[in-house]
Amino acid sequence: MNKIKSLTIATKNNHASKNITQQDIQSLSKTLKQLDSWNLVLNLLHQFFNENPQPLDKEKVMSEYHVCSKLFNNFHKDFYQLSKKINKQIEELQQK
């Protein structure tokens, strides 16, 4: 059986004030890891937009720009959803 562990946060007087489950922490950690997974892709996008190849191959730049725009759109959608999710998780933890 899978038991849920509980983390007790104590006040200054060592009175238990809040209970946060291990599942809550793991859920928050998972969301943060999902956000962190975008680092490699964002670094590639940053590199693409900061490089100025000489001579300029317009067709190559246009195709790479198109790919980068698709990557950014995917990132933007995912980031928006994950930020809403993490805000909800934080609000739930604050209520506990």
d(CA 31, CA 88): 11
Q: If you average pLDDT over residues 15-23, what whole number do you get?
A: 70
Q: Is the pTM of this model over 0.75?
A: no
d(CA 28, CA 31): 5
Extract the tokens encoding 70: 């698709």
Structural domain harbouring 89: 6-95
Length of the chain: 96
Residue 1 located in a structural domain = no
Residue 22 located in a structural domain = yes
Q: Which pLDDT band holds residue 20 (cuts at 50, 70, 90)?
A: confident
pLDDT tens readout for residues 22-43: 888 899 999 999 999 999 888 9
Q: What total of structural domains would you count in the chain?
A: 1
Q: Which pLDDT band holds residue 1 (cuts at 50, 70, 90)?
A: very low
pLDDT tens readout for residues 41-82: 889 888 888 876 677 778 887 888 888 899 999 999 999 999
Amino acid 8: pLDDT: 56
Residue 75 located in a structural domain = yes
Residue 49 located in a structural domain = yes
